[in-house]
Amino acid sequence: MTDAVLSREGLATAKRIVVKVGSSSISGANAAQIGPLVDALAAAHARGAEVILVSSGAIATGMPFLQLDARPTDLATQQAAAAVGQNILIYRYQESLRRYSIVAGQVLLTAGDMETPSHRSNAQRAMERLLGLRILPIVNENDTVATHEIRFGDNDRLAALVAELVAADALVLLSDVDALYTRPPHEPGAVRIDHVGFDDDLLGVTFGDIGAAGVGTGGAGTKVAAAKHAAAAGTPVLLTSAAKVADALTGLPVGTWFDAAPRG
């Protein structure tokens, strides 16, 4: 990790970056978004950055293979869909990465792994080796044994834990919304928040519900909680949309930037 506190522009030169993408951005009608996402990740990889992708979408990708039109509501079927969808998802990423001769490594983790010292150090060592070999690790929750992210967050929290595990220089949280707003963005009077100081408790911000229609489980609330966790652990966070990932990774002024707590 670099010593200087990173700014948003610094994303263009950051050494180690964790990028998290949610289910609805890369599955179903948006499966073709994997291509542009991979283009942006490959560009960062090509300039020498170490890139880790945390991707949800196993359940959503598995649904059509189980003839499911809607996200299953019971946990066991969600886990079954994830088991079916995870390898399809990784296959799609690898096919896209192949255009750049980049090899992906699948890493399935649980929050519990991060708290169990032997699991944590194993995961850390494996991740360091993958990055040293210039592999692009693609992380998801290990849905067969853990269901936190299925229930509450579409991998937002997992991404923050991974950023902490690898001491990332920055975490980029991608969703369908381009930034954090003072209230749900479709509501009148919603104003984009450009920057959040590390000690800003965002008391004036109203978080909406994700709604029942989505295939993911995260909303602005879980993103802000994840961003706050990463920032407190020393990793600044950019929250923006998957459509703006290329701009984000080249340091353009998009999204909402969360300052990291000063190290010390």
The residues, any chain, with a CB within 8 Å of residue 143's CB and separated by 6 or more, are 58, 59, 78, 79, 82, 83, 86, 108, 149, 150
Q: By CB under 6 A, what part of segment 144-163 binds ligand GLU?
A: 149-150, 154-155
Provide the phi-psi class of 52: left if phi over 0, else alpha when psi is between -120 and 50, else beta: beta
User: Annotated binding residue at 228?
Assistant: no
201: its two tokens: 């408790």
Q: Binding string, 82-101, against ligand GLU, x = CB under 6 A?
A: x-------------------
Q: Binding string, 111-150, against ligand GLU, x = CB under 6 A?
A: -----------------------------xx-x-----xx
Helix (H, G, I), strand (E, B) or coil at 171: strand
Query: Rounded to an integer, what distance in angstroms lies between the CA atom of residue 99 and that of residue 156?
Result: 28
Contact 236, 171 (CB under 8 A): yes
Considering the complex, state which of residue 105 and residue 236 has its C-beta at the smaller distance from ligand GLU.
Answer: 105
Q: By CB under 6 A, what part of segment 25-84 binds ligand GLU?
A: 56-59, 82
Compute how many residues bind ligand GLU; rule: CB under 6 A.
15
Considering the complex, state which of residue 87 and residue 122 has its C-beta at the smaller distance from ligand GLU.
Answer: 87
Q: What is the DSSP string of 91-110?
A: HHHHHHHGGGTPPEEEEEE-
Q: By CB under 6 A, what part of segment 200-239 binds ligand GLU?
A: 216-217
User: Annotated binding residue at 118?
Assistant: no
User: Annotated binding residue at 200?
Assistant: no
Specify binding-site residues: 20, 56, 143, 155, 175-176
Annotated binding-site residue numbers for ATP: 20, 175-176
